[in-house]
Amino acid sequence: MVEDIRELIKKHALLNAISYGGKANSKAVIGKILAEKEELRSKIKEILPLVEEIVNEVNKLSLEEQLKMVNYPVSLKSKEEKKILPPLPKAEKGKVVTRFPPEPSGYLHIGHAKAAIIDHEYARMYDGKFILRFDDTNPVNAKIEYYEAIKEDLIWLGVKPDIIENTSDDLERLYYYAERLIEKGFAYVCLCDPETIKLNRMKGMECNCRKSSFEVNLERWEKMFKEYSRNEAILRFKGNMKSLNTVMRDPTLFRIIEEEHPLKGNKYRVWPTYDFAAPVKDSLDGVTHALRTKEYELRDELYFSILKALELREPILIEFSRLEMKGSVLSKRKIREMISKGLVSGWDDPRLATLRALKRRGYQPEAIKEFILSLGVSKVESEPTWDLINSINRKIIDPKAKRLFFVSEPVKVKLEGFPLKKVKLRYHPDRDLGEREIEITESLFISKEDFESIREGEKIRLMDLGNFTIKEDKLLFDGFELDHKLKKFHWVNGKALDLKVLFPLEDRLIKGKVEDNFQNLNIGDIVQFVRFGFCKIDSKDEVIFLHK
């Protein structure tokens, strides 16, 4: 735990130092740490000396030394450039190739966005190439719908591939390299049943299949394409059954799957696992830097063992922690289950953290990108709250979001003595987004919470309207002069429209009334309801709450 905290402090100290000419600021570092791990607030007194110690150590280093110590994107603040990534090891301008290999088994979520954005940014930094490679080697889960959705989501995110390819298009070459492994004695066909294989791997025991000659293995390999059924035969890598790294205990390289493939139909029945396809394809595709999440760390040994056995070029592997958002489900398997059970309406249900759902809620692609890069590529596990991305998104949408009045749990009050029949209000206090006109009806609505906070005879101010004194259930006009000491309330007129507001993270729906100018806006527009928050219009009678 202490080491994890030290690593977290070191990460933010380095990021802060590099962003400000080599000198980190302790207070800024503490702010970043607490934003990423809110639970550390209770331990702030214990952490402060550690922060000071590590910041002092980092500040003694030169900027060049600091850059060498980081392995994640860093924002350097300068007049010329807003964001710069630290150098990749052994990278050459024009020769860097990165790849993003999603499985077309669902829609992308914010966790996928982290990998895609970092891969894409590095390729652009070095004037290199970025490959979108569909890891479509499991026909059970792959669907045409998902191929198209992933491409569309990446375009929305601003991630533009230079090359788009499918692993399924390269199966014949992968078969060739599988046969080379067999001939060189690095792979064998195992005929043991799945339960036996599982037990042997747990115990570190070799089976008799492992001792077969390469001639027998080649013959069995051919039978996998014609005779054997699913689970009757698999191709395994000959690793080390005694290895403490259980990944190396003769993992599966190819298996039989007799399902129709969305692109290849029934042409193939022998499919590679990710463990085999990833290193071979990375090498053949010219990938220079393969970035992937920390969950694959134990598989690095297998990745390089396969390439060494085949005498293929080895890319540089760089790993970072997965992005997990507090309170959100980021497992495609779990999301599919939720959809099938009717718990959510689909992949774009605003309660999810898929890119489709975030777009529907009102998050901007630029905000997602800035949020991802602000987290860096540390291996330290974290589960940020939505506060950081909300603050970034707010800066982007605030200048262009029109302001309207919305009242939750509306209470009708009668207006008396107000001299005007209509008022003109600006759509935005600072930007020229136009004006709207509101008719003054004899009765208005204010929120139940505001109404119950007013004492009989108290003077209040209705925003952009005037001062009023409460008498029973009436508001008596009491002048236009601005008095900052008065309580301020928002309101809507008697012609206000009924509106529902969905709070996706709380799975809660509230009802209220919105000013009738709402009907002049379009579905998809983002508005700010005064004293309430930003919302995205999802239909003519429902909005989705985005954030404050």
Q: For 204-225, how does the pLDDT look when each residue is reduced to its tens digit (9 = 90+)?
A: 999 999 999 999 999 999 999 9
80 pLDDT band, cuts 50/70/90, is very low
Give the ranges where 251-364 is alpha helix by DSSP (H): 274-284, 300-310, 332-340, 355-361
Residues forming a β-bridge with 272: 254
Q: What is the pLDDT of residue 376?
A: 75
**The one catalytic residue among 103, 319, 366, 409:** 103
76 pLDDT band, cuts 50/70/90, is very low
Q: What is the dihedral of CA 267, 272, 278, 282, to 10 degrees?
A: -50
Q: What angle do CA 121, 123, 125 make, to 5 degrees?
A: 65
**CATH number for domain 401-548, candidates 3.40.1710.10, 1.10.150.130, 2.40.240.10, 3.10.310.10:** 2.40.240.10
Compute how many other C-beta atoms are within 10 angstroms of the C-beta atom of residue 433: 15
79 pLDDT band, cuts 50/70/90, is very low
Work out whether the CA dihedral 159, 160, 163, 169 comes out positive or negative: positive
254 pLDDT band, cuts 50/70/90, is very high
470 pLDDT band, cuts 50/70/90, is very high
As its CATH architecture, domain 97-168+278-395 has 3-Layer(aba) Sandwich (3.40)
Tell me how far apart the alpha carbons of residues 115 and 372 are, in angstroms, rounded to a whole number: 9
101 pLDDT band, cuts 50/70/90, is very high
324 pLDDT band, cuts 50/70/90, is confident
64 pLDDT band, cuts 50/70/90, is low
Mention every residue, 6+ apart, whose C-beta is less than 8 A from residue 83. Answer: 73, 75, 76, 373
Tell me how far apart the alpha carbons of residues 163 and 287 are, in angstroms, rounded to a whole number: 12
Q: What is the pLDDT of residue 84?
A: 58
Tell me how far apart the alpha carbons of residues 221 and 234 are, in angstroms, rounded to a whole number: 9
Helix (H, G, I), strand (E, B) or coil at 389: helix
Q: What is the pLDDT of residue 78?
A: 36
- 353-376: pLDDT as tens digits: 999 999 999 999 999 999 998 887
Could you tell me if 146 and 154 are in contact, meaning their C-beta atoms sit under 8 angstroms apart? Answer: no
CATH topology for 171-275 is: Glutamyl-tRNA Synthetase; domain 3 (3.90.800)
Mean of pLDDT values over 175-186: 98
Considering only CA atoms, which of 390, 445, 398, 405 is closest in space to residue 530?
405
Length of the chain in terms of residues written: 548
Asked if pLDDT for residue 243 goes beyond 60, the answer is yes
Asked if pLDDT for residue 75 goes beyond 50, the answer is no
Asked if pLDDT for residue 506 goes beyond 70, the answer is yes
Work out whether the CA dihedral 327, 330, 334, 340 comes out positive or negative: positive
Whether residue 103 lies in the annotated active site: yes
Domain range summary for the chain, segments of one domain joined by +: 2-69, 97-168+278-395, 171-275, 401-548
Q: What is the pLDDT of residue 41?
A: 80
Backbone angles phi, psi at 497, to 5 degrees: -95, 150
Considering only CA atoms, which of 289, 318, 305 is closest in space to residue 99?
289
**The one catalytic residue among 32, 129, 133, 332:** 332
Backbone angles phi, psi at 388, to 5 degrees: -65, -50
Q: In sequence order, what DSSP letters do the residues of 206-249 get, joined into one string?
A: PPGGGG--HHHHHHHHHHHTTT--TTT-EEEE---TT-SSGGGS
Q: What is the pLDDT of residue 299?
A: 95
Mean pLDDT of the chain, nearest integer = 92
Poorest-confidence range of 294-303, 331-340, 397-406, 439-448?
Answer: 331-340
Whether residue 52 lies in the annotated active site: no
Q: Of residues 24 and 360, which shows the higher confidence score?
A: 360
Same fold, 97-168+278-395 and 401-548: no
pTM recorded for the entire structure: 0.80
Mean of pLDDT values over 135-150: 96
**The one catalytic residue among 180, 201, 322, 474:** 322
Could you tell me if 440 and 420 are in contact, meaning their C-beta atoms sit under 8 angstroms apart? Answer: yes
Asked if pLDDT for residue 63 goes beyond 70, the answer is no
Asked if pLDDT for residue 74 goes beyond 70, the answer is no
Rounded percentage of the chain residues whose pLDDT exceeds 70? 95
Q: What is the pLDDT of residue 395?
A: 94
Asked if pLDDT for residue 230 goes beyond 80, the answer is yes
Whether residue 180 lies in the annotated active site: no
Could you tell me if 107 and 356 are in contact, meaning their C-beta atoms sit under 8 angstroms apart? Answer: yes
Could you tell me if 478 and 471 are in contact, meaning their C-beta atoms sit under 8 angstroms apart? Answer: no
Rounded percentage of the chain residues whose pLDDT exceeds 90? 76
